[in-house]
Amino acid sequence: MAPSPSTSPETQRRVREAAGDLAAATMRRLDADLEWYRALPAEDRSWVGLVAQAGITAFVQWFSDPTRAPAGAGEIFSGAPPELTRSISLQHTLQLVRIGVDVVEAHSDRLAAPGEERELREAVLRYSREVAFSAADVYARAAEVRGAWDARLEALVVDSLVRGDVDDSLRSRVAALGWRGHGAMLVVVGTTTSSLEEVRATDLRRATRREADVLVGIQGDRLVVFLSGDGDLGAVVTSLLPRFGPGPVVVGPPAQDLADCARSARAALAGLQAAAAWANAPRPVQADELLPERVLVGDATARRQLVARAYAPLAAGQGALLDTLTAYLGTGRSLEAAARSLYVHPNTVRYRLRRVAEITGWDPLDARDSYVLQTSVALGRLDGVAPAS
């Protein structure tokens, strides 16, 4: 990597004496040609300027001393803070290198001794190539460090949300991961069996971030995904299904903020634990569709919710709807048998059951919904929720 042997001491001296002029010309080109440079804060512009000048100085030193190893990007960036790699990208750095090459080439006729212009230009190109390769290595290592830190931070955030530890520090950590909290929020849980867990998580993030903000947590064989966005999150969930392992995928109730996300995550995880009890559960399945099964695994929230949504409003009436539902369920779901036990016409039973469906959202004439309602009636009686007199 030494300059061409035909480069004379005279050319080396001229280049060395022109270092200040080359640096000044480079700074003028940065301001004239690079819109992103002009948009940087003043402090970052000063750091970029120092980096550009350091690059010119390093080239001059290398060109003047053929025995010197060419300085890499790490040495050129050594005077700048590490955070500068967040302000300027690798592409921006390569633009700095290109401008430095253009400046030296533009002055090569004046700097080189007669007949050595080509050698000077070739030396600049060889040196810029080394700096470009070195810059790629610097950014790769910086990205690796940031990626490892972000992965640890994301794991901590997901763990905190699952445990319900939502405070101001969690909000700042979530913001650092790029979570904006716009629009609706959903929590999706399922299984994962891949041994390449981080690769799978990275692929899932990449597939999702065009449509929504995403946080991914892999906890043993459990995959937890938090989504937020203004678009159709249901479609996003459907697109993610192949990236989950076998078995149920449970979607928590919609959330509006991080505290809601924590509650939604608990519901979804309880649903994942209980989903095996419903053999015909869809994939994905809503956590609120698994309320009876969640009660079976000891989910107190599901128990309260099921009583509040079905038994309590029926018990708060005059009793006819609850009595009709109880008779219908207790007679093998027969309209005629329920009508005989209540001494009413079957159409009256049918009308009252439609009212039950309107009030609770569960239709007693549907097999699955009738099971939900029967569970709610049993829980309401066990909890001592008295019907209205």
Per-residue pLDDT, 4: 45
Q: Is residue 22 part of a domain?
A: yes
Q: Is residue 150 part of a domain?
A: no
pLDDT-based confidence at residue 2 (cuts at 50, 70, 90) = very low
3-state secondary structure the chain: CCCCCCCCHHHHHHHHHCHHHHHHHHHHHHHHHCHHHHHCCHHHHHHHHHHHHHHHHHHHHHHHCCCCCCCCHHHHHHHCCCCHHHHCCHHHHHHHHHHHHHHHHHCHHHHCCCCCHHHHHHHHHHHHHHHHHHHHHHHHHHHHHHHHHHHHHHHHHHHHHHHCCCCHHHHHHHHHCCCCCCCEEEEEEEECCCCCHHHHHHHHHHHHCCCCEEEEEEECCEEEEEEEECCCHHHHHHHHHHHCCCCCCEECCCECCHHHHHHHHHHHHHHHHHHHHCCCCCCCEEHHHHHHHHHHCCCHHHHHHHHHHHHHHHHCCCCHHHHHHHHHHHCCCCHHHHHHHHCCCHHHHHHHHHHHHHHHCCCCCCHHHHHHHHHHHHHHHHCCCCCCC
Q: Is residue 196 part of a domain?
A: yes
Q: Which domain holds residue 337?
A: 299-382
Question: What digits encode the pLDDT tens for the residues 278-305?
Answer: 999 999 999 999 999 999 999 999 999 9
pLDDT-based confidence at residue 319 (cuts at 50, 70, 90) = confident
Per-residue pLDDT, 204: 72
Distance CA 260, CA 306 (A): 19
Whether 352 and 242 map to the same domain: the answer is no
Distance CA 284, CA 348 (A): 37
Q: Is residue 1 part of a domain?
A: no
Decide which of 179 and 271 is more confident: 271
Q: Is residue 214 part of a domain?
A: yes
Task: For residues 216-233, give the mean pLDDT.
Answer: 86
Q: Which of 254, 286, 318 is the last residue before a domain boundary?
A: 286
> Lowest-confidence range among 137-151, 215-229, 329-343?
137-151
Whether 13 and 132 map to the same domain: the answer is yes
Share the mean pLDDT of the chain.
81
Decide which of 6 and 133 is more confident: 133
Question: What digits encode the pLDDT tens for the residues 333-353?
Answer: 999 999 999 999 999 999 999
Range with the largest mean pLDDT of 147-161, 181-195, 237-251: 237-251
Domain count of the fold of the chain: 3
Q: Is residue 388 part of a domain?
A: no
- Number of alpha carbons in the 13 Å side-chain half-sphere of residue 171: 7
Q: Which of 232, 258, 286 is the last residue before a domain boundary?
A: 286
Q: With the C-alpha atoms ordered 243, 214, 267, 370, is the resulting torsion angle positive or negative? A: negative
Q: Which of 252, 286, 320 is the last residue before a domain boundary?
A: 286
pLDDT at 3 over 50: no
Q: What Rg value do the Cα atoms of the chain yield, rounded?
A: 34
Short-list 186, 178, 135, 143, CA closest to 161: 186
CATH of the domain at 243: 3.30.70.2730
Whether 75 and 177 map to the same domain: the answer is no
Question: What digits encode the pLDDT tens for the residues 164-177?
Answer: 887 777 777 787 77
Whether 180 and 215 map to the same domain: the answer is yes
Per-residue pLDDT, 250: 96
Whether 224 and 190 map to the same domain: the answer is yes
> Lowest-confidence range among 45-54, 289-298, 304-313, 366-375?
45-54
Whether 175 and 261 map to the same domain: the answer is yes
Task: For residues 78-82, give the mean pLDDT.
Answer: 55
pLDDT at 245 over 90: no
pLDDT at 25 over 70: yes
Whether 53 and 133 map to the same domain: the answer is yes
Short-list 258, 240, 262, CA closest to 249: 240
Per-residue pLDDT, 316: 87
Whether 44 and 123 map to the same domain: the answer is yes
Whether 307 and 279 map to the same domain: the answer is no
pLDDT at 71 over 60: no
pLDDT-based confidence at residue 87 (cuts at 50, 70, 90) = low
> Lowest-confidence range among 76-85, 211-220, 360-369?
76-85
Whether 304 and 330 map to the same domain: the answer is yes
Q: Residues 23, 57: contact at Cβ < 8 Å?
A: yes
Whether 179 and 238 map to the same domain: the answer is yes
Per-residue pLDDT, 115: 79
* Percentage of residues of the chain with pLDDT beyond 90: 32
pLDDT at 57 over 70: yes
Per-residue pLDDT, 90: 62
pLDDT at 217 over 60: yes
